């Protein structure tokens, strides 16, 4: 079983969504963790848009990357440029990946436009996660 860490700035939206999808697609092939270089709490809109796609992340917590320093990760995926540039030292021999997803928490507009942005980012993360599992965790 592989250990995957998804790292973002605040561990509230993008990394939480990625953790949900990566765990869903990986099944028992991986244990997926998400963390932030800060903790901002899990965004309720992220929970909502994932529930719309039948993925329950309501039990997720917002964690600081330092909490996982002793876990031997195989893969570390940064999902925003800030996390990539400010990632603290993590011990171990793991492969790094990076994709800068837009931050849906910064969306502006009507409540509908904001939720549409959360859904758009969710769908981007879903495709990335499915492709990542297919490529790096083969059957």
Pull the structure tokens for residue 87.
């990632």
Q: Are 71 and 53 in contact (CB under 8 A)?
A: no
Residues in CB range of 29: below 8 A, 6 or more apart: 1, 2, 133, 137
Q: Are strands 95-98 and 30-36 parallel, antiparallel or unpaired?
A: unpaired
Nearest to 65 by CA among 15, 17, 125: 15
Q: Catalogue the active-site residues.
A: 8, 80, 87
Coil, helix or strand at residue 117:
helix
């Amino acid at each position: 079983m592989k250990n995957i860490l998804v790292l973002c700035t605040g561990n509230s939206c993008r990394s939480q969504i990625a953790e949900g999808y990566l765990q869903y697609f990986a099944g028992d092939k991986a244990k997926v963790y998400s963390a932030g270089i800060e903790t901002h709490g899990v965004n309720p809109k992220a929970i909502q848009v994932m529930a719309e796609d039948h993925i329950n992340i309501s039990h997720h917590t917002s964690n600081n990357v330092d909490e996982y320093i002793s876990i031997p990760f195989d893969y570390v995926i940064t999902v925003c440029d800030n996390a990539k540039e400010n990632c603290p030292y993590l011990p171990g021999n793991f492969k790094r990946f990076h994709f800068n997803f837009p931050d849906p928490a910064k969306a502006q507009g009507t409540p509908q436009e904001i939720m549409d942005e959360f859904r758009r980012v969710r769908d981007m993360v879903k495709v990335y996660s499915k492709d990542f599992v297919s490529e790096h965790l083969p059957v």
